[in-house]
Amino acid sequence: MATSSPIHATNRVQRELQDLRRSKKVANESSKLKDTATPLNTPEEAEKFLASLRSKEKSSSFLGNPPANLSANGMNAWHLEQRQREKEMRLRRKEAEEMLRKYRMTMSHSKIIVDAEDKNYKDFGSGKHLFSGDESFGILPNSTDFQHNYQSSIRSDIPGINEDETLNTSREEAESTVGEELDANKKEAEPTAEEDAPAKEPKDFTTPFKRKLLLSPVVAEGSIDPVLESDENTVTSVLFEMPPKIQWREFVEPGDDVRFPAARGRYHLYASYACPGSHRALIVRALKGLEDVVDVTIVHPIWRLTKTGTDEEQRGWVFSNPEDEPFKNTAGRGGPFPPDFEGTTPDPFSSDHSIRDIYEKAGDTAGKFTVPLLWDTVENTIVNNESSDIAYMFNSSFNEFAGNPSLDLYPEEKNDELNDVIEWLLPLMIHGFYRCGFAKKQELYDKALTEIEIAFDRAATVLEKQRYLTGDKITDADLRLFVSLFRFDEIYYVYFRANSRKVLLTPSLLNFCREIYQLDGISKTCSMEHCKSHFFCSHAEWNKFSIIPRGIGFLASLEKPHNRGDPVNDPDNES
């Protein structure tokens, strides 16, 4: 009978001893994890925990790389333990983020104006405050009531953790789970079949004052708020009753007795040609003839890191600077990209490097630093950072100074129909494509793509029979559709795998896009170079070397004649 040599036996014993020591270490680390995974009690504890998690040594694998000499059984045990620990940390991270979200919402300075008797919405300056900071919620930073209410609700707020999900502390990278989270929240938002259940008030996507109430913590208490990139989140948040992380929701209004009165040259718009929400705000600004009323700064399309080398490092929108050197993507690959693009400029008011600097100048150091952003140059603060609100203000608040004051993209007589159209268009908005492109299961991808197909086909059918989505006049719904279709063939088809439809192969949608594009001033807001550079170069984890597909020339096709009339300037058409 063959026997093992002393050398081989020694090696085997050493490996077994190493496995044993490793298993003991894992057990000790697991014990430490359980000791430190106690519920977070205050916002300060949550903030401290997230700050430590953002550091490089905390955001990488908790146990480091596995030893090269582990046996197969030892390696399996190591990976199982690793995944369990990461799952625990993901759960605790969500708990901390939710605690901070609730805390910020209650401390928000945003005010909701309603009539105290019949709850009808009134103009700002009248009515009573529904809630305002300490008045409704008491003293919150270390409040026992806050801790008790939070701890009793937080576990029900957190959806199940996907075992295949990797630990991810970056807000932008967390977009990869948005499809599953939206599905979970949509299911939770569906009405139950309880007897005598009160009828729900119809959603209002067009009136900012009503949207504001729907987004308030009074209505949406206990709902989850997934991390999303685009600021098209008003409509999505309303549909699933998810309040935003932070609110900059003031409004510019006509008159002198308001905080932010309409005025020529007072307000400044920070925007991106690449962002769909920014694009829509820029289109409304052009259609209304506000180019000489509200100035604009276009940011660089490719995200860069801010506060590099610190615990607060984050990527996001930055300003162009022709004096900078060409750069690579945030992973140090791709490019090099030019430090400025056509149409971009540095910040005209300061030497600020990024949009994040603008937010922090206004005292917001913890929010999502999004565009578009409307800035008040008198009070030096943010007025609003919600694209739907900004478009609404451009439509009606500046008519005294507008070059085209008669154009109304939110006609009151079309309010119900406009809301219905915007609701069924939701899968064609940016979050619908996120759910499709970032799905981690085949069934989630198939479901999201099917919803996109249904909305796409319905829009095509409607526009075969009538000029616009709500009839013979252009409205905000048409602009929402246009900014999505503009990006569909060149970006969403490739990047988000929405490859079962094409605008170029759909005559009614192609001619619709040509018509909108050829309106006065609109083509200047459309930059395919900015759009493709942003989507294909800003997320190194999804496009490692930031390769930009060449495309099929969709922008050039929009220059060709369409088969429709002139929607704005035709004297026979009142639109």
**Among 39-43, 65-69, 217-221, 381-385, the range of highest mean pLDDT:** 381-385
Q: How much of the chain is helix, strand and coil, in % rounded to 5?
A: 45, 5, 50
- Amino acid 527: pLDDT: 98
Region for residue 380 given its phi and psi (left: phi exceeds 0; alpha: psi -120 to 50; beta: otherwise): left
- Cα 206 to chain centroid distance, Å, stands at 19
What is the value of pTM for the model shown? 0.63
Q: Whole-angstrom Cα distance, residue 269 to residue 275?
A: 14
Using the predicted structure, report yes or no on whether residue 7 has a pLDDT greater than 90: no
Please name the amino acid found at residue 296.
Answer: V
To the nearest 10 degrees (0 to 180), the angle between helices 528-537 and 476-487 is 60
Please name the amino acid found at residue 123.
Answer: D
Q: Using CA of residue 367, residue 369, residue 370, residue 371, what is the dihedral sign?
A: positive
Q: Whole-angstrom Cα distance, residue 414 to residue 318?
A: 39
- Amino acid 11: pLDDT: 66
Q: Which two tokens stand for residue 118?
A: 């019949």
Lowest average pLDDT, out of 155-164, 268-277, 319-328, 536-545, goes to 155-164
Q: Whole-angstrom Cα distance, residue 291 to residue 271?
A: 14
Arithmetic mean of pLDDT, 532-549: 95
Using the predicted structure, report yes or no on whether residue 406 has a pLDDT greater than 70: yes
- Where does the pLDDT of residue 169 fall: very low under 50, low under 70, confident under 90, or very high at 90 and above? very low
Using the predicted structure, report yes or no on whether residue 329 has a pLDDT greater than 80: yes
Q: What is the mean pLDDT of the chain?
A: 75
Using the predicted structure, report yes or no on whether residue 410 has a pLDDT greater than 90: yes
* Cα angle value 66/68/74 (rounded, 5°): 60
In Å, how far are 131, 219, 315, 335, 342 from 326, measured between CA atoms?
Answer: 49, 48, 17, 8, 15
* Bridge partners, 327 (sequence order): 337
Q: Whole-angstrom Cα distance, residue 30 to residue 498?
A: 42
- Where does the pLDDT of residue 4 fall: very low under 50, low under 70, confident under 90, or very high at 90 and above? very low
- Amino acid 301: pLDDT: 98
pLDDT tens for residues 204-216? 555 554 443 333 3
The dotted CATH code for 413-526 is 1.20.1050.10
Residue 557's closest CA among 512, 514, 526, 527?
Answer: 514
Q: Calculate the CA dihedral of residues 490, 491, 497, 500 and round it to 10 degrees.
A: -40
pLDDT tens for residues 512-521? 999 999 999 9
CA atoms within 13 A on the CB side of 435: 26
Percent of the chain with pLDDT over 70: 62
- Cα 324 to chain centroid distance, Å, stands at 28
Which residue bears the tokens 């500046």? 398
Using the predicted structure, report yes or no on whether residue 226 has a pLDDT greater than 50: no
Using the predicted structure, report yes or no on whether residue 99 has a pLDDT greater than 50: yes
